[in-house]
């Protein structure tokens, strides 16, 4: 157990590496301000590392911790690779007394190794189905019949066909070279891409049904397919489809176009039928904070994260409320989700939907997804196979899965 006493903290500094000055850096600066109310002699030095953060962390770990900060931010889908490559690199925060029962459980999964838990969850990528109510109305559909409802994908396909027939707008904008939408669907089923022994798990019923759904959407003309992130954003903001499936962090992109005001509503992630454990909830994205075992200031760094990010006080709850409004950063500390900025109605959305409140509610239902160290090569292999399936090179779901498995094994040298 780490012994923490105020006197130990006098005239000390904590160093933090992260990225994105308007989101992660902003949030950490607000956290530092809260901590300084009770620990005024502690300086929190925050360094914006931009795109090279993983390379510099890897170099530091290979050098036994030389040059590393006390705390760093990791993407949730990448951290298990670091656990495998550097098994003693991080501080066990469960042993330090963090109460993980008050944090979103789907975030805790990837940061857990055996009985140890190494991270402090930060932001959520809670997902929803974003729908253009003006196109629903033009198709003779009443948006109020769907607002706030838990729908099945079969329901969505039916009204997607109607919208396409009446407006000539595909239901969803889809980035065909990106894995995100498929990951959202698979995670909503409670399925896993890998088995407990680390081997691929692409032949599960959940995965097969997810691939079948995508092919059905494509064959019915319900996907507006583009290549590249910028073209996907442009498709959304140039009225090319009736909606899209993605996370809370799309609020800023949608609001960046004034013409979108009043048009969008967001409903829960649709359900894949016939899969045990499936939910009307999923996730895309998100990061968490970790303390390096090599840090000479481990006790201080742990106290900072635990005190601000995982403790229920008036100041910490106000902190989470502040970063939501200031950066659109929705935290995953459950007691914070009742803040005024979470529950407020948003006039930009259809019927002033309280979108943050809804995303927070859905977040608590997200099934746990273990990414594993080999997530990235699996992701790329599946994305390539699905694209070939759409283009007709592969003819069946089983062929698509076999192609993904073959590419994965080739990349992994198996």
Residue (of 113, 265, 107, 111) closest to 187 by Cα position: 107
Residue 10: per-residue pLDDT:
58
Secondary structure of 324-347 in the HEC alphabet? HHHHCCCECEHHHHHCHHHHCCCC
Integer Cα distance of 118 and 98 in angstroms: 10
Residue 181: per-residue pLDDT:
95
Q: Rounded to 5 degrees, what are φ and ψ at 313?
A: -135, 170
Integer Cα distance of 384 and 408 in angstroms: 11
Structure tokens given for 119: 């991270």
Residue (of 102, 59, 122) closest to 290 by Cα position: 122
Q: What is the pTM of this model?
A: 0.91
Residue 142's H or E segment, with its range, is: none
Residue extents of the structural domains in the chain = 7-124+285-338, 127-282+349-412
Residue (of 129, 179, 173, 182) closest to 155 by Cα position: 129
Q: Which residue in the block uniquely carries the two structure tokens 């600066």?
A: 29
Q: Which residue in the block uniquely carries the two structure tokens 């192609």?
A: 403
Instruction: Write 255-259 long-range contacts (CB < 8 A, 24+).
Output: 255/348
Torsion of CA 83, 86, 92, 98, to 10 degrees: -50
Integer Cα distance of 162 and 168 in angstroms: 9
Q: Which CATH architecture has domain 7-124+285-338?
A: 3-Layer(aba) Sandwich (3.40)
Residue (of 285, 291, 368) closest to 330 by Cα position: 285
Are the C-beta atoms of 128 and 331 separated by less than 8 Å?
no
Residue 232's H or E segment, with its range, is: helix 229-237
Q: Which residues contact 356 (CB under 8 A, 6 or more apart)?
A: 248, 324, 330, 341, 342, 343, 344, 346
The one-character DSSP state at 103 is: B
Residue 2: per-residue pLDDT:
44
Structure tokens given for 227: 């290549």
- Which class would CATH give 127-282+349-412? alpha beta
Residue (of 97, 42, 95) closest to 70 by Cα position: 42
CA within 13 Å, CB half, 334: 15
Q: What is the pLDDT along the chain (414 residues), one digit of tens a residue?
A: 444 444 444 579 999 999 999 999 999 999 999 999 999 999 999 999 977 899 999 999 999 999 999 999 999 999 999 999 999 999 999 999 999 999 999 999 999 999 999 999 999 999 999 999 999 999 999 999 999 999 999 999 999 999 999 999 999 999 998 899 999 999 999 999 999 898 999 999 999 999 999 999 999 999 999 999 999 999 999 999 999 999 999 998 999 999 999 999 999 999 999 999 999 999 999 999 999 999 999 999 999 999 999 999 999 999 999 999 999 999 999 999 999 999 999 999 999 999 999 999 999 999 998 899 999 999 999 999 999 999 999 999 999 999 999 999 999 988
């Amino acid at each position: 157990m780490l012994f923490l006493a105020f006197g130990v903290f006098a005239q000390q500094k904590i160093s933090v590496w992260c990225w994105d000055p308007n989101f992660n850096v902003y949030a950490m600066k607000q956290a530092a301000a809260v901590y300084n109310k009770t620990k005024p002699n502690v300086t929190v030095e925050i360094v914006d590392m931009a795109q090279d953060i993983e390379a510099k962390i890897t170099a530091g770990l290979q050098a036994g911790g030389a040059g590393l900060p006390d705390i760093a931010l990791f993407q949730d889908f990448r951290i298990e690779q670091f656990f495998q490559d550097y098994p003693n690199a991080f501080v066990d925060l469960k042993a330090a007394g963090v109460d993980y029962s008050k944090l979103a459980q789907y975030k805790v999964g990837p940061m857990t190794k055996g009985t140890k838990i190494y991270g402090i969850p930060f932001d959520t990528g809670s997902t929803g189905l974003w729908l253009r109510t003006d196109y629903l109305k033009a198709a003779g559909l009443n948006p109020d019949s769907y607002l706030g409802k838990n729908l099945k994908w079969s329901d969505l396909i039916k009204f997607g066909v109607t919208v396409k027939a009446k407006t000539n707008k595909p239901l969803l904008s889809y980035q065909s070279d990106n894995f995100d939408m498929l990951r959202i669907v698979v995670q909503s089923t409670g399925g896993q891409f890998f088995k407990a022994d680390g081997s691929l798990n692409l032949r599960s019923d959940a995965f097969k049904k997810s691939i079948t759904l995508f092919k059905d959407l494509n064959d019915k003309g319900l996907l507006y397919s583009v290549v590249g992130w910028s073209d996907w954003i442009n498709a959304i903001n140039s009225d090319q489809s009736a909606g899209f499936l993605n996370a809370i962090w799309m609020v800023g992109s949608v609001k960046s176009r004034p013409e979108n005001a009043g048009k969008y509503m967001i409903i829960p992630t649709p359900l894949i039928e016939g899969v045990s454990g499936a939910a009307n909830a999923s996730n895309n994205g998100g990061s968490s904070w970790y303390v390096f075992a090599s840090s000479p200031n481990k006790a201080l760094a742990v106290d900072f994260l635990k005190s601000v990010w995982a403790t229920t006080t008036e100041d910490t709850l106000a902190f989470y409320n502040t970063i939501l409004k200031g950066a659109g950063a929705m935290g995953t500390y459950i007691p914070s989700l009742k803040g005024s900025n979470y529950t407020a109605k948003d006039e930009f959305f259809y019927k002033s939907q309280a979108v943050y409140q809804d995303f927070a509610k859905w977040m608590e239902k997200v099934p746990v997804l273990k990414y594993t160290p080999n997530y990235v090569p699996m992701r790329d292999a599946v994305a390539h196979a699905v694209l070939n399936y759409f283009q007709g090179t592969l003819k069946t779901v089983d062929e698509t899965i076999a192609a993904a498995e073959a590419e994965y094994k080739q990349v992994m040298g198996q």
